[in-house]
Amino acid sequence: QSVLTQPPSVSAAPGQKVTISCSGSSSNIGNNYVSWYQHLPGTAPQLLIYDNDKRPSGIPDRFSGSKSGTSATLDITGLQTGDEADYYCESWDGSLSAVLFGGGTKLTVL
């Protein structure tokens, strides 16, 4: 069971918006930055969001991140079938001195 908690799955129709949550504690999300990754089967994970809400170059603005307290959120708007993937949040935990990943959320675009 992951220290960072994500819903196992979310789904929405093409063109719609979906929100993926990531819940942690003061030792991780509450006092450290959050990153988000997209992981398609058979490929390397891709960084979507870093520093809570920043996008690396090349990531479309359909992907956005935010953080409040000990929780973070990834929003994906204008859903496309190509967005079907597993999504992970990640943060440093100062108490564990370790990087933590959430358990992952499988996005299905209906």
CB of 13 to other proteins, least distance (A): 25
The answer to whether 67 and 52 have CB atoms below 8 angstroms apart is yes
**Binder of other proteins out of 45, 70, 77, 108 (CB under 8 A):** 45
CB of 86 to other proteins, least distance (A): 7
97 forms part of the interface with other proteins (CB under 8 A) = yes
Q: In whole angstroms, what separates CA 17 from the centre of its chain?
A: 14
State which of positions 65-94 bind other proteins (CB under 8 A).
Answer: 86, 88, 90, 92
Strand positions, DSSP E, the chain = 9-12, 18-23, 34-39, 46-49, 63-68, 71-76, 85-93, 98-101, 105-109
Contact set with other proteins (CB under 8 A):
2, 33, 35, 37, 39, 44-47, 49-51, 56, 86, 88, 90, 92, 96-104
